[in-house]
Chains A and B, each alone.
Chain A
Amino acid sequence: SQTIHQWPATLVQPVGSPLSLECTVEGTSNPNLYWYRQAAGRGLQLLFYSVGIGQISSEVPQNLSASRPQDRQFILSSKKLLLSDSGFYLCAWKAPLGRAFGETQYFGPGTRLLVL
């Protein structure tokens, strides 16, 4: 079965510090990977998605970036955090189109980021 991991679970960082959040998926190959952000009490905002190693699509211009160094690893980064970067960050995966249930996204446990 497939599992998705995110770490850290919670993070408190000062403004201007760097950020690195990691997401890994087990039990599947060549997944599509996604980063979402959810501000407190708000809906989901898609930040980045990737259909393969080194392939990143950015949805929202901001001071965040994403990388996919390995097939099942997706990293969200920032060189200098802003207060507005606080939120709940969710990673999701889905099977490639054509594979069973290739239209459904499955989410990880999330990372709560507080920028002070």
Chain B
Amino acid sequence: AQKVTQAQTEISVVEKEDVTLDCVYETRDTTYYLFWYKQPPSGELVFLIRRNSFDEQNEISGRYSWNFQKSTSSFNFTITASQVVDSAVYFCALSGNSGGYQKVTFGTGTKLQVIP
């Protein structure tokens, strides 16, 4: 069975601070994808990034960066110089090849509040 753990339920930071959202996963699949989604107060889940299990390169997109470490089964998400618009619930997710990538296992989410 697959499992995604987001131990941080809620985080509050002051605007312009950096913040890291943790994600730890469990899977027996040989190939899998990891994802991060953002859910702003409006409710829609917005896809942020997809990472293949064979690609451990870190990725940076503007103020966002992702650190994938297969050795520790972690896929952490860092927001640099946080802004109020970053306030949202962030979900980490996993989809594996044993299920033909038909289904996604989501973590329980981390609620980020950025205080102005």
Interface contact tally, CB-CB below 8 A: 47
Q: Which residue of B lies closest to A106 (CB)?
A: B47
Interface size class of chain B, counting residues whose CB lies under 8 Å from the partner chain = 20 to 34
A51 CB within 8 Å of chain B: yes
Which residues 46-78 in A have Cβ within 8 Å of B in the complex?
A: 46, 49, 51
- Could you tell me if B95 and A43 are in contact, using CB atoms closer than 8 angstroms? no
B55 CB within 8 Å of chain A: no
- Could you tell me if B91 and A44 are in contact, using CB atoms closer than 8 angstroms? yes
Inter-chain contacts of A106 with B (CB < 8 A): 47
Which residues 89-114 in A have Cβ within 8 Å of B in the complex?
A: 90, 92, 97, 101-110, 112
- Could you tell me if B44 and A107 are in contact, using CB atoms closer than 8 angstroms? yes
Which residues 1-56 in A have Cβ within 8 Å of B in the complex?
A: 32, 42-44, 46, 49, 51
Interface size class of chain A, counting residues whose CB lies under 8 Å from the partner chain = 20 to 34
Q: Which residue of B lies closest to A105 (CB)?
A: B104
B75 CB within 8 Å of chain A: no
Q: Which residue of B lies closest to A88 (CB)?
A: B43
Q: Which residue of B lies closest to A51 (CB)?
A: B102
Inter-chain contacts of A101 with B (CB < 8 A): 50
Which of B46, B50, B100 sits near A104, CB closer than 8 Å?
B50
Query: Which chain B residues have a beta carbon within 8 Å of chain A's beta carbons?
Result: 33, 35, 37, 42-47, 50, 91, 95, 100-104, 106-109
24 A-B pairs whose Cβ atoms sit less than 8 Å apart in the complex:
A42-B108, A43-B107, A43-B108, A44-B91, A44-B106, A49-B102, A49-B103, A51-B102, A90-B44, A97-B101, A97-B102, A103-B50, A103-B95, A104-B50, A105-B104, A106-B47, A107-B37, A107-B44, A107-B47, A108-B44, A109-B42, A109-B43, A109-B44, A112-B43
Q: Can you list the 7 inter-chain pairs with the closest CB atoms, starting with the nearest? A: A107-B45, A103-B101, A43-B108, A110-B43, A103-B33, A44-B106, A109-B44
